[in-house]
């Protein structure tokens, strides 16, 4: 096992392990913010009024939380760890066609994004 060495400069009175845990959690939170910026465009607040930007931000946060809920509850183990941008591109924004026959419907999806096994596992 390889040990990674790091350096923290801090003025807190916490013990060493607590300082490392605190900064690791902070890094995790920054990754969530970055994912929110990339996946649902949280920082795109282009309205002229504060109330419009506030409503847009609330909708973006709701979309991000729904994406996380979907990832944790509905997705199979192999793709649970994918970032939300990958889930959008490969699962949500997938091209498809619905073909109607006499007694049944066929949902035909693009081959490059979602396999039949993954689609069945999600359902």
Amino acid 26: pLDDT: 79
Total number of residues shown for the chain: 123
Q: Specify whether the CB–CB gap between 38 and 64 falls below 8 A.
A: no
pTM: 0.59
- Residue 118 CA, chain-centre distance (Å), reads 18
How many C-beta atoms surround the C-beta of residue 62 within 10 A?
A: 11
| pLDDT tens digits, one per residue of 2-48 | 666 777 777 888 888 888 888 878 777 788 888 888 888 888 888 88
Q: Where are the domains of the chain?
A: 16-122
Eight-state DSSP code of residue 92: I
User: Which pLDDT score is estimated for 112?
Assistant: 60
Degrees to nearest 5, angle at CA 51 with 49 and 55: 125
| pLDDT single digits (tens) 70-122 | 888 888 877 788 888 887 777 777 777 889 988 899 887 776 666 667 777 77
């Amino acid at each position: 096992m390889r040990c990674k060495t790091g350096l923290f400069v801090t003025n807190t009175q916490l013990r060493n392990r607590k300082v490392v845990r605190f900064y690791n959690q902070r890094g995790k939170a920054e990754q969530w913010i970055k994912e929110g910026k990339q996946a649902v465009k949280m920082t795109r607040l282009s309205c002229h009024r504060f109330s419009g930007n506030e409503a847009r931000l609330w909708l973006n946060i709701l979309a991000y939380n729904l994406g996380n809920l979907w990832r944790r509850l509905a997705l199979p183990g192999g793709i649970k760890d994918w970032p939300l941008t990958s889930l959008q591109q490969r699962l949500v924004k997938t091209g498809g066609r619905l073909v109607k026959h006499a007694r049944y419907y066929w949902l035909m999806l693009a081959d490059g994004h979602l396999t039949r096994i993954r689609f069945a596992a999600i359902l």
